[in-house]
Amino acid sequence: MRMDMQRLKIDIDGLVQGVGFRPFVAQLASRLGLTGTVGNDGRGVVIAVQGDPAVLDRFLAALQTEAPPLARIEGLQITTLPLQPEKSFVILASSGAGAKVAAIAPDAHLCNDCLAEMLDPRDRRYHYPFINCTNCGPRFSIITGIPYDRPQTTMAEFPLCPACAAEYRDPASRRYHAQPIACPACGPQLSLLSFAGIPLAGDPLAEAIALLQAGKIVAIKGLGGYHLAVDAENDEAVARLRRRKRRDEKPLALMVPSLAEAHVLAQISPAEARLLSSVERPIVLLAAKDHPTLSPGIAPRNRYLGMMLPYTPLHHLLLALGGFTALVMTSGNHSDAPIAADDAQALNELGSIADAFLLHNRRIHTRIDDSIARVLADKLLLLRRARGYVPRAVLLPVTAPPILALGGELKNTLCLTRDDRAYLSQHLGDLSNLESYAGHVAMSAHLQSLLELHPSVVAHDLHPDYQTTRLAESLPGVQRIAVQHHHAHLASCLAENGESGPALGVIFDGLGYGADGTMWGGEFLLGGLDGFRRVGYFTPTPMPGGDLATREPWRMALAYLHQAYGRDYPRLPFLQEIARRDEQLIVTMVEKGLHAPLSSSCGRLFDAVAALLGLRNRVSYEGQAAIELEMVAAIDDYPPYPFTLDNVADAIVFAPQMMIRALVADLVAGLPIAQISARFHATLVAVVSEICCRVRKETGINTIALSGGVFQNCLLTEAVIARLEKEDFIVLTHSLVPPNDGGLSLGQAAVAAARLQNPD
Ligand code: ZN
Ligand code: ZN
Ligand code: FE
């Protein structure tokens, strides 16, 4: 033992258990000639390591850069220890006791080592669709309880064969302590059933491929749910899938065999390529290329394709052996219902859609959709946070006692906090759907038990009619904290950026219940996690028919026309398909304020402009009109339309009348709608910039946070960021948490945490 040596104790927390971290540390230390121990404790991993200080530095650096793919280091504490006489580096057995608090890994893509084994005819797992190892495979979706151990997963039903058991126990094996380990002798098996649930003869995989090649619809059991698959080049099959699923126009996701194939179908930047092939394997929205063989029914009126790479061994086999350019892989559900949870439900609900079922006998304990992401301003932006990302923690800028935040109504997620960690659930859908609501309640209980958190503080939206508000009110003995919808959006953006404010939140959204009881959605909120002041908003405009105005954008178009011109509004072409009687009814509702609640929503303004331009009078899915308005916009620079900003009380109000009149004049003059849409987008950019500058002048606040569903619009968001940065603002945007209502639960949790820290 040399006296210039050093011994360090390194406490690591984060996602470091059940992901091969201890063997990795042992191998790293041995490679560098260091001695010591590594073991698990209640929070994570504890390392004692001894050697030359320069080598210890290399060890510390490599801990971060070479960690196993599923590991996430969230905190690292280093203290020095007295030197020990020792000769080697050893892995200490798990105490078992503390392993509860440590994080659970998300489901992960099949790793390259397993892929190579699966394609090797000499390997005992050749073409075995459930191959996995310490670095890959199912996790969150199969975990039934804690601690994370095989008996507490849905793999408990599959006793290990001697060969698998030996790998499981061998620290030198890639499958050391890999809980879902399996092989053809001991693990799950495939089966193929008819639409009526009758087993079909032959090899399930080969027969399923033959059906897909023949243009049939096959329901495929995956990691967190069921997909409905068809050959993406078979137009007739795609049309049949849409008809049976009653999904008229919403884009369908594609699975392509490899990155090379993806490049053939879409324009892919290096950042997008990295995202596509990341272990999380989300669906990535990519600019579509003209592709003569792909069915035009996949993403009508959309310039993007949602694409993902295979993420389970079964996907790899299907695509490789089937020789498909791409498979449509859309969630196995009826429109708006959650994805099916088990084989019986899938057969029952999807039997009228699918021609056959490719199933397996590993149960899905937690259903979880595919995540949806895009690269925006060179950064990851999650639009739907689910498989691959959940249940990874988001770090909060505040520490508080445990909080349960219930989220919003649409695109619901919930969130649990421990200290400064926020654990968001996966996307749980629209809670006005009874099944989705039941899913929310079940997920809340499951996450609380996995994380051993039983919060007595519940945060929820201010909206009195949200299911989650009623749920909060029904919970006995808890402290309830109601959070205004757009304040939660602001807080969500601040929190994921590690900020507490103050900042100016530019919140462009659909609808949320305002602090004054009206519906908000085009908001400039000045504040931080602890509170806000509404310093700007869009002119409140009637929504004739309330919720119906969301589904029928022509109503909003008429309301804006009437606002800009009064009764003498020009009768634009979009009104031709509206019965004269209905048109007059809307005018009356607007004038008399009958069932026409006022809203400052930016999303509804997008809808109105889309209808004015003749894009569509009715939508078949949320946000459709706004998305199509973005899709038709010319990419070149166009000047904004004129607009006015009024001072009302202490706030700046964007009045769109002048813009609407200029836009209508362009339309009447026959200008291309591509140009008009581009000018509309440019106007909003100018409005944002002008209001931000005015607020900065008054308050000195230079940080802008962009949130709300409208900021899923790439064109608008990139232009707003560019303009604000040119004006020397610091711009905070979303990344790991969606700007839409999927991010509300995080914002509610952050606001509640701040209020608990500083009660007033
Ligand atoms: Zn693997
Ligand atoms: Zn086995
Ligand atoms: Fe919202």
Model pLDDT for residues 204-239, shown as the tens digit of each residue = 999 999 999 999 999 999 999 999 999 999 999 999
CA distance 505 to 160: 54
Calculate mean pLDDT across residues 605-616: 98
Tell me the ligand closest to 748's alpha carbon: 3
**pLDDT band at 99, cuts 50/70/90?**
very low
CATH architecture of 377-497+740-757: 2-Layer Sandwich (3.30)
- Separation of CA 136 and ligand 1 centre (Å): 4
**Burial call 416-427: b when 16+ CB within 10 Å, e when fewer:** bbbebbbbbbbb
Residue 96, pLDDT score: 53
pLDDT at 97 over 60: no
- Separation of CA 155 and ligand 1 centre (Å): 16
- Separation of CA 142 and ligand 2 centre (Å): 18
377 or 120, which is more confident: 120
Tell me the ligand closest to 175's alpha carbon: 1
**pLDDT band at 759, cuts 50/70/90?**
confident
- Separation of CA 119 and ligand 2 centre (Å): 17
Give the H/E segment covering residue 10: strand 6-15
Task: Specify the CATH class of 536-732 in words.
Answer: alpha beta
Six-digit token string for 670: 């026959």
Tell me the ligand closest to 115's alpha carbon: 1
CA distance 254 to 242: 14
- Separation of CA 365 and ligand 2 centre (Å): 22
- Separation of CA 655 and ligand 3 centre (Å): 21
Strand, helix or coil for residue 641: coil
**In CATH, which of 3.40.50.720, 3.90.870.30, 2.30.130.10, 3.30.465.10 is domain 104-188?**
3.90.870.30
Tell me the ligand closest to 412's alpha carbon: 3
- Separation of CA 553 and ligand 2 centre (Å): 57
- Separation of CA 711 and ligand 3 centre (Å): 11
CA distance 719 to 733: 13
> Among residues 522, 524, 597, 614, which one has the least CA distance to residue 559?
597
Residue 335, pLDDT score: 63
- Separation of CA 304 and ligand 2 centre (Å): 43
- Separation of CA 183 and ligand 2 centre (Å): 4
Calculate mean pLDDT across residues 696-716: 97
Amino acid identity for residue 151 in this structure: P
Neighbours of 650 (CB within 10 A): 10
- Separation of CA 227 and ligand 3 centre (Å): 28
Strand partners for 506 = 524, 706
CATH architecture of 6-91: 2-Layer Sandwich (3.30)
Alpha-helix runs per DSSP H in 119-216: 162-169, 204-213
Six-digit token string for 73: 């280091």
> Among residues 464, 483, 625, which one has the least CA distance to residue 552?
625
Residue 236, pLDDT score: 97
Residues of the chain with CATH 3.30.420.40: 536-732
Residue 631: DSSP 8-state: H
Calculate mean pLDDT across residues 465-471: 96
Calculate mean pLDDT across residues 347-371: 95
Residues of the chain with CATH 3.90.870.30: 104-188
CA distance 754 to 459: 12
- Residue 465 CB-density burial (10 A; 0-12 exposed, 13-18 middle, 19+ buried): exposed
- Residues whose CB is under 5 A from ligand 2 (ion)? 161, 164, 183, 185-186
- Separation of CA 749 and ligand 3 centre (Å): 15
Tell me the ligand closest to 744's alpha carbon: 3
- Separation of CA 590 and ligand 1 centre (Å): 61
- Separation of CA 475 and ligand 2 centre (Å): 46
> What pLDDT, in 10s, does the model give residues 516-552?
999 999 999 999 999 999 999 999 999 999 999 999 9
365 or 621, which is more confident: 365
* Highest mean pLDDT (candidates 103-107, 339-343, 558-562): 558-562
CA distance 190 to 702: 57
Phi, psi torsion values for 242, nearest 5 degrees: -60, -40
- Separation of CA 159 and ligand 1 centre (Å): 20
pLDDT at 196 over 50: yes
Residues of the chain with CATH 3.30.70.100: 6-91
- Separation of CA 115 and ligand 3 centre (Å): 41
CA distance 368 to 443: 11
- Separation of CA 143 and ligand 2 centre (Å): 20
Calculate mean pLDDT across residues 43-58: 93
CA distance 231 to 318: 11
Strand, helix or coil for residue 154: helix
Name the least confident of 42-46, 320-324, 391-395.
42-46
Taking CA atoms, 324 is separated from 173, 229, 467, in Å, by: 34, 12, 43
- Separation of CA 463 and ligand 3 centre (Å): 11
- Separation of CA 466 and ligand 3 centre (Å): 13
- Separation of CA 14 and ligand 2 centre (Å): 30
Tell me the ligand closest to 622's alpha carbon: 3
Taking CA atoms, 717 is separated from 265, 389, 403, 491, 710, in Å, by: 25, 23, 31, 18, 8
CA distance 429 to 570: 40
Average pLDDT, the chain: 94
**pLDDT band at 674, cuts 50/70/90?**
very high
- Separation of CA 706 and ligand 3 centre (Å): 12
- Separation of CA 172 and ligand 1 centre (Å): 14
- Separation of CA 96 and ligand 3 centre (Å): 42
- Separation of CA 131 and ligand 1 centre (Å): 7
- Separation of CA 165 and ligand 1 centre (Å): 16
Residue 192, pLDDT score: 98
Residue 337, pLDDT score: 73
| Residue 539 contacts residue 559 (beta carbons within 8 Å) | no
> What pLDDT, in 10s, does the model give residues 315-324?
999 999 999 9
CA distance 738 to 286: 17
- Separation of CA 525 and ligand 3 centre (Å): 14
CA distance 2 to 11: 25
- Separation of CA 729 and ligand 3 centre (Å): 24
* Pairing between β-strand 304-308 and β-strand 254-255 as defined by DSSP bridges: parallel
CA distance 620 to 292: 27
Tell me the ligand closest to 111's alpha carbon: 1
Q: Say if residue 138 is preceded by a cis peptide, omega within 30 of 0.
A: no
- Separation of CA 490 and ligand 3 centre (Å): 10
CATH architecture of 190-360: Alpha-Beta Complex (3.90)
Helix, strand counts (H, E) of the chain = 22, 30
Please list, in sequence order, all residues whose beta carbon lies within 8 angstroms of the beta carbon of residue 345, skipping any fewer than 6 positions away.
none
Residue in the block written with tokens 């929190």:
495
pLDDT at 707 over 50: yes
Tell me the ligand closest to 108's alpha carbon: 1
Residues of the chain with CATH 3.90.870.40: 190-360
pLDDT at 1 over 70: no
- Separation of CA 510 and ligand 3 centre (Å): 6
Tell me the ligand closest to 623's alpha carbon: 3
